[in-house]
Amino acid sequence: MTIGLAHPPQPRKNSSFSTADRRGLALSVYRCFQNYYHGLRLLGPDPQYIGNVRLSINHWQIRDLVQVDESTGAVFHTLDEHIRVMTMKTRSVLGPIRTRNHVSLPYRPRCFHHAAGGLVVAGGVLTTLARACLMGLANLTLDFLGPAAARQARGLFSVHSPAMGAEMSFLLGGMINNAVKIYAQQNSAAAYTAYACNNDLGLYRIDVSDAGVRGDRRIVCDPDTSLNNVHLSADGRMLTATGDSGAVFLVDPALPDPVVRTISTPHDSGFGISYHRNELVFATAFQDGTCCMFDLRNTSSPLHEVRSTRAGHQLGAFRTCRFLHSPVHDLLAVLEHLGRVHLVDVRDLLPESHQVMVFPFALDQYARCGHVGTQLDDDFATDTHRATSIYNDGAAHFPAPLVYDHDYLADVNPNLFRGYTYEPQQAAAAPSLAATRRAQELYRQSVSHVNGEMEIAGLDWLGNQLLVGCEDGGFLVWDVNLRARRSLGSFSYV
């Protein structure tokens, strides 16, 4: 359905777009992209919200905590000391959605990654509050550094597969592991290569097989840059790494001097990395609120830059990006630190093809109000959830658009949902004790969300659906508008 929301114009702020880019739009008349003409260019009209799914963010900068196994459709996410898995059904079958523990760790994982078949690696840091502190873990750092350096190891690295039954945890690196990745080796069905980015400047390569877990090589891309993320190319030959500088490193771990190219940018720390399906174009998300798209055939300058609605501010820092790997739909999703996800049509890269989804706290209130009186399962082993239509044909639909023009959020109404709350149209005649407790919980949470937007834990694509998960809330699920996308002209970087 079509929903309109009027906002009074506010004083103009500095914007990342020029006057020409605005194409004559008046600042006082910005179109909310939930309305049909623009909203249906990329997204379908009926997003859904899966409420009461427990997610947790264990490091304030690391937000790559929602990942989809494309072979099974399983959705992995973090919760305290656990990595959980959510089983999604098709949109035509809105039955129960179940989440369960996939692996329990002796610490809170700051990062994780998975391979096909449920194999998971996780990383973190040793603290006095973690059970790992009392376990006498094996020290993988000895495979890379001398005994003196290994004694200072504080990084944690874990491996788990369903066949193992229990995880294997190790000390790895002198400081926190900011990112871990695992990939199947090209010529083996039972051997994997894992990578860990540690704050001690090291990029650690680890062999994982039936024979055990063994350290292989430590790479330092730059003596002044701690690494935050790494990605392996589809052919298994080239690594792309980012860290606490504006540089992007292209690394061939088979070479004695592994850093084959350094792409310099003027931006702040790099985090998210995602490759287009052609494996020639990739995107990198930077902390200053810029996401750069590069072509490996010419890296002298970016193909395109996506700007945050709050560039230069911590709340607008870009943390994660994901290309939709589809032969038809060339879309890039970029996650802001708080409450917003950018969706860019990389076929034309025009300003009107740049939409921003907002994840307000009021949306979680809306979903929870629809479940007042429902007994929540306090057993973390398995939980059952249901999807709620946000814009249905009933009287209880969510009253505000969730998709907006970039300039509207950057210039006209940057604090769109500050102080905005959802109130049901009709209150229950005799509220139960459970309803009273839920109302008190909602009030306490609203105090913690002074900006009116949710802390986003991560995002990923499940087929042609975009999944956005938030801390202590749930998942926003939005379909790509397949019919509208097929009607547009095609474009390829190849």
Cβ atoms of 282 and 293 within 8 Å: the answer is yes
Q: What is the CATH number of the domain that holds 174?
A: 2.130.10.10
Average pLDDT of the chain is: 84
Dig out the tokens for 104 from the structure: 């329990």
Residue 114, domain extent: 105-264
Give domain status of residue 163, yes or no: yes
Give the number of C-alpha atoms closer than 13 A to the C-alpha of residue 345, restricted to the C-beta side.
24
Lowest mean pLDDT among 161-165, 177-181, 288-292, 299-303: 161-165
Give 447's contacts (C-beta < 8 A, 6+ positions apart): none
Give domain status of residue 98, yes or no: no
Q: How many domains does the chain have?
A: 1
Give domain status of residue 78, yes or no: no
Model confidence at 289: pLDDT above 80: yes
Angle between helix axes 433-448 and 361-369 (nearest 10 degrees) is 180
Cβ burial, residue 37 (10 Å; 0-12/13-18/19+): exposed
Rounded to an integer, what distance in angstroms lies between the CA atom of residue 476 and that of residue 473? 10
Encode pLDDT of 434-487 as tens digits: 555 555 555 445 445 668 999 999 999 999 999 999 998 899 999 998 776 666
pTM: 0.86
Give domain status of residue 214, yes or no: yes
Cβ atoms of 226 and 244 within 8 Å: the answer is yes
Give domain status of residue 436, yes or no: no
Q: What is the model's pLDDT at position 382?
A: 82
Residue with tokens 């990029």: 203
Give 473's contacts (C-beta < 8 A, 6+ positions apart): 51, 53, 55, 361, 364, 454
Taken in order 339, 292, 404, 387, the sign of the CA dihedral is: negative
Model confidence at 334: pLDDT above 50: yes
Give domain status of residue 331, yes or no: no
Lowest mean pLDDT among 307-311, 387-391, 405-409: 387-391
**What is the rounded average pLDDT of the residues 160-182?**
93
Encode pLDDT of 348-402 as tens digits: 888 878 999 999 999 888 877 765 434 445 455 788 888 888 887 565 678 888 9
Strand pairing report for 331-336 and 318-323: antiparallel
Give 373's contacts (C-beta < 8 A, 6+ positions apart): 432, 434, 435
Give domain status of residue 471, yes or no: no
Give 20's contacts (C-beta < 8 A, 6+ positions apart): none
Give domain status of residue 175, yes or no: yes
Q: Percentage of the chain with pLDDT > 90?
A: 59
Q: Tell which residue, 460, 467, 463, 334, has the closest CA to residue 67.
A: 460
Encode pLDDT of 18-37 as tens digits: 444 443 333 333 444 444 33
